[in-house]
Chain A
């Protein structure tokens, strides 16, 4: 059973919430928080369970549980040289197409690329189409040969 489907709040479910998340409503699942708080307000007899959970919550917040200060942690992490990243061709292409948000005029970048794309495709197709007749064009020698053939045919 999922949290999102649990309705309405029962004493059993309330006890389960306390056992799992403690007495601080901030730690309860958001989908059940309001129902659980209302249940706690309406049912004084569950106070004993709540007080037991509060006791463990207090232990969990004793100074002994708190981590050390980790002085200069960020500096230490940033001082370490970052390794170069092996980036794929697709990664590089995507980075070029969609640059960092810090780049000025980034808002204009995509419309410009979008506008240029049909132009680029048109140019590419245009070059290909132009090359097709060249492939089949005849040389001067071939033309003279064909003319001579036609002359020979007339004689016959």
Chain B
């Protein structure tokens, strides 16, 4: 990281090789689109290059810092490109049963899983993806989302409960839909 701060492109390339794929995976799970996920990864590493001196090693691991940048970019993207989504994102407004019923109209069972993840409020989705798939600790994720560990656990429990409802519906009734997350 000192090399990147000093403008060493070999150090930057090493960081890209180590962290690009997890960041792209995270963005993909947040946005449900490969091209957009690549754009987010691109922008994340551009910021690593231009803002490397802002990273504080004592505060967060490089991987966590990069996830934080990618997370903020994903949230910005979702809010800019899907303005109607913002009003839906309040965790309390999600009606699990109703959304599960809507999801039943989709065509493919596997794609239904994408729909299910896409229908989670962004904070629930971030919490679930970061802890379950990206391997970050609950403390790191809580810091990233600026919430307490207890609040994180509450988000995770709600996310899993919602997914369970969707997935049970999917198991009972195969359906199809496009691969992209529905928003």
Residues in A lying within 8 Å of B, measured CB to CB: 1-3, 16, 19-22, 27, 29-30, 55-56, 59-60, 62-65, 67-68, 70, 73-74, 76-78, 80, 82-83, 85, 87, 91, 95, 98-102
**Bound-complex Cα distance A21 to B137 (A):** 11
* Interfacial chain A residues near B55, Cβ < 8 Å: none
Can you give 6 contacting A-B residue pairs, CB < 8 Å? A1-B150, A21-B132, A22-B160, A56-B163, A60-B163, A85-B50
Residues of B in contact (CB 8 Å), total 53
A20 to B71, CA, bound (A): 20
Our count of residue pairs bridging A and B at CB distance below 8 angstroms stands at 119
Q: Tell yes or no: B5 within 8 A of A by CB.
A: yes
Find out whether the CB atom of A101 lies under 8 angstroms from the CB atom of B38.
Answer: no
A68-B12 contact in complex given A82-B49, A101-B2, C-beta closer than 8 Å: no
Interface of chain B residues 50 through 73 with chain A (CB within 8 A) = 50, 53
> Nearest chain A CB to B26's CB is how many angstroms away?
9
**A70 shortest CB reach to chain B, Å:** 5
Query: In the complex the two chains form, is B38's CB within 8 Å of A70's CB?
Result: yes
* B132:A60 contact, CB within 8 angstroms: yes
Contact B157 A19, beta carbon cutoff 8 Å: yes
| Chain B residues, Cβ within 8 Å of A3 | 138-139, 149
Nearest CB to that of B12 among chain A residues? Answer: A82
Residues of B within 8 A of A19 (CB): 156-157, 160-161
Complex Cα spacing A81 to B152, Å: 38
Q: Determine the chain B residues whose CB is within 8 A of the CB of A80 once the complex forms.
A: 42, 46
Q: Closest CB of chain A to B25's CB: distance in Å?
A: 4
CB-based contact B29/A67 at 8 Å:
yes
**Considering the chains assembled together, what is the distance between the CA atoms of A139 and B64 in angstroms?**
70
Q: How far is the CA of A1 from the CA of B113 in the complex (A)?
A: 33
